[in-house]
A and B are shown apart, each in its own frame.
Chain A
Amino acid sequence: MKGLLSLFIVLFTVNSWSQNVKEYDLYVSDTIVNYTGKKVKGIAINGSIPAPTLHFTEGDTAVIRVHNKMHHETSIHWHGLLLPNEQDGVPYLTTAPIKGMSTHTYKFPIKQSGTYWYHSHTMLQEQNGMYGAFIIHKKEEAPMPEYTMLLSDWTDANPHEIERSLHKANDWYAIKKGATQNYAEAIGKGHFKTKLTNEWKRMHAMDVSDVYYERFFVNGKTEDQAPQFKPGEKVRVRVINGSASTYFWINYAGGKIDVVASDGMDVQPVPVDRFIVGVSETYDIIVTIPEKGNAFELVATAEDRTGQASLWLGSGLKQLQQPLPKLKYFEGMKMMNDMMTVGGNMKDMGMNMSLQQMDMNAVMYPEITGKEQPKMSTAMPDMSQHDHGQHGGTNPDIVTLNYAMLKSPVKTNLPDGPVRTLHFELTGNMNRYVWTLNNKTISESDKVLIKKGENIRIVITNNSMMRHPMHLHGHFFRILNGQGDYAPLKNVLDIMPMETDTIEFHASEDYGDWYFHCHILYHMMAGMGRIFTYENSPPNPQLPDPKKALKMVYNDDRRYYFSAEVGLESNGSDGEMRLENTRNFFDVEWRLGLDKKSGYETEAHFGRYLDKNQYLSVYTGFDFRYHNSLERSKNLFGQISTQDQRAVACIGIIYQLPWLVNADMRLDHEGKARLQFTRKDIPVTERLRLWGSWNTDFEYSVGSRYILTKYWSLSAHYDSDMGLGGGLVLTY
């Protein structure tokens, strides 16, 4: 009898448990897509980009089988979910990578509700289309019409090629965006001094994002339709930013927007006119379909305003939202000049900035600060104001959401425990695309040890020139935003330049490694993050060789990027090839003349950047040169070159001076010294670049380059050894 009873109990439990298991099969495959008229590679899940939306109810157990139908490995990370460490899906760090043609099963209990998403955490696969919505419904949820708005960015370019270009500071994307901020444009807009100061402070063209995207998507489409909603209905829209590197502004043509949740966690409803969704953030909003036979545009505009994607709510005559006007880059540049010291640090001019409350970028928003005034208008204010008064119109206060406005509906105080405070400074070097925390990449720093039961408080200061969406895996943190006990819970913190924010979280997990990183894909891959690791974690069965696995994680930001500039001109060829990573570089330079008199010269170097801003580097290398000339000229230091043919070893030091001039001082083993000044790529017009160099051997050259395509330019230059030449330059 007793046996029967226990059997009954077992059966009953299994039965009730199995009712709550929700299973999904995800098939990951290579695919060819055509969004722009060009066929390019993408990665689809169950045949679609984005991946299918997964629905769960709080209390379910999720069983998700990921079938990798590709020949290379992949992974899936469940963004914002609280789950056992080995289910987190960061390959090599928490979970085994899913090898080509194999299946991996994830299984974890669903302990929360709200709007989340999932994406690949392997290299740049997220940019290729591997993202999908992960919706968890509350157990007893009042039924309400709802719609998921998954945002993403699409480029036809190979993401690895984008990454390489970013590290090379190739300005092709700026050309495509019309954001080169060249001297001709600066003069035309009366901002010549602004541009000069900007370059004096060693900054290249400024922008709010790095990559040029061909398309922006709502649920994989430029325009998505949701005609099913009736007039007067309130609709919960789950906004997920699944893009690789694009922030989106959200505006609604049908009136106010109520923000009711962020990163899956409820907040007290806040009515706003617009808000920005950081990369990887989610917001739940409620909008009303006004009482007319209309469809209303809910529009997501890329922060750099190069494009937008819309969701149409309701049916009928389509009410468009006024598009956001183009950014006033030179105003932003002026602001940057004020904030940046010549030493390369950001200063906040005594303002304590935090929680997105002071958007410095607002100086670039014409809808707030007025239209860009042509240069003439400053001289003739009456005329310009006449024009302005007619077109500017009245602009009632636009209410923009910021973090200080988020308030949790319930108390969020952390459980008692020892408090430990960490300070993270976000640091970066835009010119070389180095992104770090406290000036160290993930691979250069130790894991941060934490203990279960501890409360970790992090004070984050952004001392870089860009905003960063910092994401913590497997935990929610409180943003200390002045709401006291009701501080909102989030797992992504967008932090703008010069801001300081404080977040805190309870070390509530039992074990494992948890990533904390910038969610801009290309920043993460450059090493902008840290790993939190619980003390005394047991070995992870998914990673049988933990040392090797960790090396794989670290390899992401240790990679070398190749670049080259090869000139083929009528007077010979010069060029340079470089291989560089976060700190080191190898380079080979050459100049080949067409006759014996002009001869040839090659230099090869290995060097290392030393300081935080990477203005300073040292190198060692060797040179070969041959030229058959009878002239024996003294250099500036009174030394005479004695041989036509030389092979020397050398050491040198390079320092980047204001106005982006590189000073290169070198000494060879025969004791001969040379100091050379070089300035490359002065942006004269959108596509015209000037450059020049001079050294103490009295060699000099000046040249110009007209950019035709991403890789090819027309060029002409004069060289003191080789004379005048013209031809083509390949920039890779």
Chain B
Amino acid sequence: MKTIQNIFLALVATFFFTGCDAQIKNPKTETVKVYGNCGMCKRTIEKAANERGIVKANWDIDSDMLTVTYDQTKTNTDAILKKVAYAGYDSDSYRAPDEAYKNLPECCQYDRPVKAIAMAENPSQHQGHNMTADMPQNNDVLGAIYSHYFAVKDALIKSDGKTAAAKATALNKAITAIPMDKLKPAQHTIWMKIQNDLKTDAEHISETNDVKHQRDHFASLSESLYTLAKSAPNGNTIYYQKCPMYNDGKGAFWLSQENTIKNPYYGSAMLTCGSTVETLKP
């Protein structure tokens, strides 16, 4: 019995040690630059790079250098740096997706070697033909309103009350900041009419994290903004969409930049329920 026990222990021990001390076969070691900040970065970078028995990584905070030892029959430096970039860290081979960088904790928001990349907005030049000369000006003036509105809407699609509140605060600021002297006369009139309603609804949304309450105000906010969008559309096509079920079947509307339905009134339960009732062309 004792022998069996011993054998068992020996086996366990063997497994334990092989597990810990997983030797990397066909090893190759390289040192490359990976941009980062702090101890937390070190953990994230190494976690992204490490692969049991294949990659062992060590990142140095002071020099920003990552030393990797890897099995050269199974992977290579490029593949490792790609994984590190997906975790949010730039190297001289890969620039991380902006979203991955933004998702890093605040203390890890290191200085990126390439700050921002200018994205191509409209690859083919057919867009924007029919824009009148003074349209861009109006876009600049009202553009902030629309973009904050869409941000509120996106938060509501995800039933994310906290973000919706934050975005509504920004919307509220933007409403206050509208330079009325830069609006065309017709728009000025409409703006005067809806300005207070917009502000009230935005304030209500910003003051709570309760998604239900936010949606009630979002419904009236959307209708006010619609009257504005009809007279002063922003640079892109806006779709005016309807959820037939909201408010006990009375329905509610919202504005979207795409024709596809993503209903902000019910979250994922009724995400694609609704229809486009009007298309507002720029």
> Which residues of A are at the interface with B, using a C-beta cutoff of 8 A?
234, 253-258, 260, 268-269, 271, 286-288, 290-292, 294, 317-323, 331, 334, 349, 351, 357-360, 362-363, 368-370, 381-382, 385-386, 388-389, 391-400, 402, 404-405
Q: Verify if B262 is at the interface (C-beta below 8 Å from A).
A: yes
Q: Are B86 and A320 in contact (CB under 8 A)?
A: yes
Q: Decide yes or no whether B124 CB sits under 8 A from chain A.
A: yes
**B267 in contact (CB, < 8 A):** yes
Instruction: Give the residues from 75 to 115 in chain B that come closer than 8 angstroms, CB to CB, to chain A.
Output: 82, 85-86, 92-100, 102-103, 114
Q: How near does chain A come to B167, taking the closest CB pair, in angstroms?
A: 7
Contacting chain A: which of B21-29, B45-53, B149-157, B182-190? B149-157
Q: Which residues of A have CB within 8 Å of B273?
A: 349, 351, 358
21 A-B interface contacts by CB (under 8 A): A255-B123, A256-B122, A258-B123, A287-B123, A294-B114, A294-B117, A317-B92, A320-B85, A323-B86, A357-B261, A362-B262, A362-B271, A369-B267, A370-B160, A385-B209, A392-B160, A393-B99, A394-B163, A397-B150, A400-B260, A404-B259
Choose among B157, B163, B259 the residue that contacts A405 (Cβ–Cβ < 8 A): B259
How far apart are A450's CB and chain B's nearest CB, in angstroms?
34
Which of chain A's residues has its CB closest to B272's CB?
A358
Contact flag A358-B123 (CB < 8 Å), given A385-B209, A397-B154? no
Q: How far is the CA of A391 from the CA of B269 in the complex (A)?
A: 22
Tell me how many residue pairs across A and B have CB atoms closer than 8 Å: 159
| Complex Cα spacing A72 to B275, Å | 53
* B260 and A359 form a contact (CB under 8 A): yes
Does residue B161 face the partner (Cβ distance < 8 Å to A)? yes
* Docked complex Cα distance between A349 and B97 (Å): 39
Q: How far is the CB of B143 from chain A (nearest CB, A)?
A: 12
Q: Distance (Å) between the CB of B86 and the closest chain A CB?
A: 7
Cβ distance B51 to chain A, nearest Cβ, rounded Å: 15
A402 — which chain B residues lie within 8 A by C-beta?
259-260
Known: A317-B92, A318-B94. A254 touches B120 (CB 8 A): yes
Rounded to whole angstroms, the CA-CA distance of A253 and B96 in the bound complex is 10
Give the distance in Å from the alpha carbon of A37 to the alpha carbon of B122 in the complex.
42
- Output the least CB separation between B278 and chain A (Å): 14
Across-interface contacts of A351 in B (CB, < 8 A): 272-273, 275
Closest to A317 in B: B95
Contact in complex: A363, B258 (CB < 8 Å): no
- CB-based contact B268/A397 at 8 Å: no
With CB as the reference atom, state the residue of chain B lying closest to A394.
B151
Q: Are B158 and A394 in contact (CB under 8 A)?
A: no
Contact of B123 among A288, A317, A320, A398 (CB under 8 A): A288
Q: Which 4 A-B pairs have the closest CB atoms?
A: A288-B120, A255-B119, A370-B158, A322-B97
Find chain B residues with CB under 8 A from A386 CB: 162
Residues A393 and B158 in contact in the complex (CB < 8 Å), given A255-B123, A290-B118, A369-B271: no
Q: Which of A331, A370, A386, A396 has the most CB of B within 10 A?
A: A370
Q: Note all chain B residues with C-beta closer than 8 A to A370.
A: 157-160, 268
Inter-chain contacts of B260 with A (CB < 8 A): 357-359, 362, 400, 402
Once the chains are docked, how many angstroms separate the CA of A469 from the CA of B254?
32
Within 8 Å of chain A (Cβ to Cβ): is B3? no
Across-interface contacts of B161 in A (CB, < 8 A): 381, 385
Contact (Cβ within 8 A) A388 B103: no
Q: With contacts A320-B96, A368-B157, A394-B167 known, is A287 near B120, CB below 8 A?
A: yes
Complex contacts, A256 vs chain B, CB 8 Å: 119-123
Residue from A234, A286, A318, A392 within 8 A of B95 (CB atoms): A318
C-alpha gap A388/B162 in the complex (Å): 8
B93 cross-chain contacts in A, Cβ below 8 A:
317-318
Docked-complex contact A286 and B261, CB < 8 angstroms: no
In the docked arrangement, what's the CA distance between A261 and B202, Å?
42
How far is it, in angstroms, between the C-alpha of A693 and the C-alpha of B221 when the chains are bound? 59
Compute how far the CA of A254 lies from the CA of B123 in the bound complex, rounded to whole angstroms. 10
Closest A residue to B85 by CB, please name it. A320
Residue picked from B103, B154, B155, most chain A C-beta under 10 Å:
B154
Sample of 7 more A-B contacts, CB < 8 Å, known A260-B124, A294-B117, A404-B259: A234-B124, A320-B96, A362-B272, A370-B158, A388-B158, A394-B167, A397-B150
Contacts of A288 in B (CB 8 A): 120, 123
> Shortest distance in angstroms between B152's beta carbon and chain A's nearest beta carbon?
10
B87 to chain A, nearest CB (A): 11
A268, A292, A397, most chain B CB atoms within 10 A: A397
Q: Are A389 and B166 in contact (CB under 8 A)?
A: yes
Of all chain A residues, the one with the shortest Cβ separation from B273 is A351
Q: Are A392 and B163 in contact (CB under 8 A)?
A: yes
How far in angstroms is the closest Cβ of chain A from B243?
11
Q: Please, which residues of chain A bring their CB within 8 A of the CB of B159? A: 370
In this assembly, does B172 line the interface, its C-beta being within 8 Å of a C-beta of chain A?
no
Q: Are A382 and B209 in contact (CB under 8 A)?
A: yes
Docked-complex contact A399 and B261, CB < 8 angstroms: no
Q: Is the CB of B117 within 8 A of A357?
A: no
Within 8 Å of chain A (Cβ to Cβ): is B169? no
Asked if residues A255 and B259 are in contact (CB atoms below 8 Å), the reply is no
Least Cβ–Cβ distance between B95 and chain A, in angstroms: 5
In the complex, residue of chain B having the shortest beta-carbon distance to the beta carbon of A400:
B260
Q: Bound complex: CA of A548 vs CA of B167, how far in Å?
A: 69
Give complex CA distance A402, B256 in Å: 15
> Cα distance A34–B8 when bound, in Å?
40
CB contact under 8 A between A290 and B99, given known A331-B268, A357-B261, A362-B271: no
B126 (CB) vs chain A CBs: closest residue: A269
Interface residues of B in 241-282 (CB under 8 A from A): 256-262, 267-269, 271-273, 275
